[in-house]
Amino acid sequence: MYVSKKETAKQINFLASARFQSFTTQVEQTGVVANAKGRKIVPAGTIYPKNDATAKGILLNDVDVTEGPQPGALLVEAYILETRLPVAPDAAAKATLTEIKFR
């Protein structure tokens, strides 16, 4: 018999509209630090791959990369509530993400 504690996931809604466009991308584990449970989670709302001029989009959902690179949904067009993102977007990232409207 397998018994484990019940866990509740919490994710803040950072979308300002139900209309968005996302594509699948490979999320790498490079630079991701393990949490208290030993899992390497890239949180939803992360500007990917970096919060700079190389930004390609924003991750729609949490991605667990503990076991290696995993697919994730990358927002390329959306209305975003900027203050709800885990890290504030850099000016260079905002300039690069022309189809994402920050509010």
The whole-number pLDDT of residue 8 equals: 76
Position 12 in a domain: no
List, for residues 42-84, the tens digit of each pLDDT value.
999 999 999 999 999 999 999 999 999 999 999 999 999 999 9
Half-sphere exposure at residue 51, Cβ-oriented, CA atoms within 13 angstroms: 11
CATH number at residue 53: 2.40.300
Position 92 in a domain: yes
Kindly state the DSSP code that residue 22 receives in the 8-state scheme.
E
Cβ-contact 65, 46 below 8 angstroms: no
Position 40 in a domain: yes
Position 2 in a domain: no
Report how many domains make up the chain. Answer: 1
The whole-number pLDDT of residue 52 equals: 96
pTM of the model: 0.90
The domain containing residue 56 runs over which residues?
21-102
Position 5 in a domain: no
Position 89 in a domain: yes
List, for residues 15-35, the tens digit of each pLDDT value.
999 999 999 999 999 999 999
